[in-house]
Structure 1
Amino acid sequence: MISLDDTDRALIRALAEDATQTAGALGRALGLSQPACWRRIKRLREANVFRESRLDVDTEALGFGVTVFLGVKLATKGRVSLEDFERAVSAIPEVQIVEHVLGLFDYRLRVVARDIPDFERVLRRRIMTLPGVGNLEANVLLSEERRAGPLDLI
């Protein structure tokens, strides 16, 4: 684990709010020079504090009006079946997130679809045909009240 000072924490919070900010703008806001700010960002990246940089796409604006959280229990267990399932499910474009979890289900998927009939198509033709799939449980997202953002803990 990397040691963080107050400036590092402020930098992480600022980037979590808006990752498009330049090192110069962040440095001015935090009382650092652009090179000093850039060195801190580089150190945090090298320590894997930031997992990835990506665009947060509004799937609903693109016509995907349904989000379903799908619990998947594998019928067979073993290293080979886990890897086969993970590889196959990751290739389905409608599956946005794959989480290996502990509990009633082995995996939790976040699946987007244009509507319920489209989700049914994805479920029947793509997900239910994956290697090792046993029991499934679907939960349709009604609304999302809180989006991921800056951590108040840092």
Structure 2
Amino acid sequence: MIDLDDIDRALVLALAKDAGASAGALGRQLGLSQPACWRRIQRLREMGVFRKPRLDLDLEALGFGVTVFLGVKLATKGRVSLEDFERAVSAIPEVQIVEHVLGAFDYRLRVVARDIPDFERVLRRRIMTLPSVGRVEANVVLTEERRPGPL
């Protein structure tokens, strides 16, 4: 665990709300000079507090109106089958997130598609043909509420 002081925690929270905020604006908000704030942001990056920056895309605006969480139980298990499955599923562009989980399923996938027929195509032609896929359960997302920022 990384040791953060109160200013570091306030900086992380402020950046979670607005990742594009300038060091000058953040510094004014936290009572720091722009250079001091910039140095703290750089230090937090070097410590690994921040992952690489990403765009937060509006998938629906781009034509992907369906999001499905897919539980996948592998038919066979073992290190080789896990690695083969992970490598193969990661190559499918519609699969946005791959999580190896404990419980009823071995993996949880976040899959986006244009519509339900498009999801069915991805499921039948891409996911169900992957190595070691056994049982699959789909949960279609109806609405999504995002809670930005750290816990």
Q: Which residue of 2 aligns with 1:150?
A: 149
Segments of structure 1 that go 5 or more residues without pairing to the other structure are none
Q: CA deviation at 1:11?
A: 0.4
Q: Which residue of 2 aligns with 1:130?
A: 130
CA RMSD in angstroms, aligned pairs only: 1.1
1:50-89 aligned within 5 A: 50-89=50-89
Give the match's secondary structure for 2:42. helix
Structure 2: how far apart are the matches of 1:77 and 1:114?
32
Q: Which residue of 2 aligns with 1:101?
A: 101
Structure 2: how far apart are the matches of 1:88 and 1:23?
41
Give the match's secondary structure for 1:69. strand
Structure 2: how far apart are the matches of 1:125 and 1:133?
13
Q: Specify the code of the residue in structure 2 equivalent to 1:45.
A: R
Q: Specify the code of the residue in structure 1 equivalent to 2:105.
A: F
Q: Judge which range, 133-142 or 23-32, deviates more.
A: 23-32
Q: Judge which range, 58-67 or 44-53, deviates more.
A: 44-53
Structure 2: how far apart are the matches of 1:107 and 1:26?
39
Q: CA deviation at 1:148?
A: 3.4
Per the normalisation by structure 1, the TM-score is: 0.94
Point out 4+ residue stretches in structure 1 off by more than 4 angstroms: none
Structure 1: how far apart are the matches of 2:138 and 2:147?
22
Structure 2: how far apart are the matches of 1:106 and 1:51?
25
Structure 2: how far apart are the matches of 1:141 and 1:82?
26
Whether 2:116 is the aligned partner of 1:110: answer no
Structure 1: how far apart are the matches of 2:82 and 2:51?
23
Aligned residues: 151
Q: CA deviation at 1:52?
A: 2.3
Question: Sequence identity of aligned pairs in percent?
Answer: 82
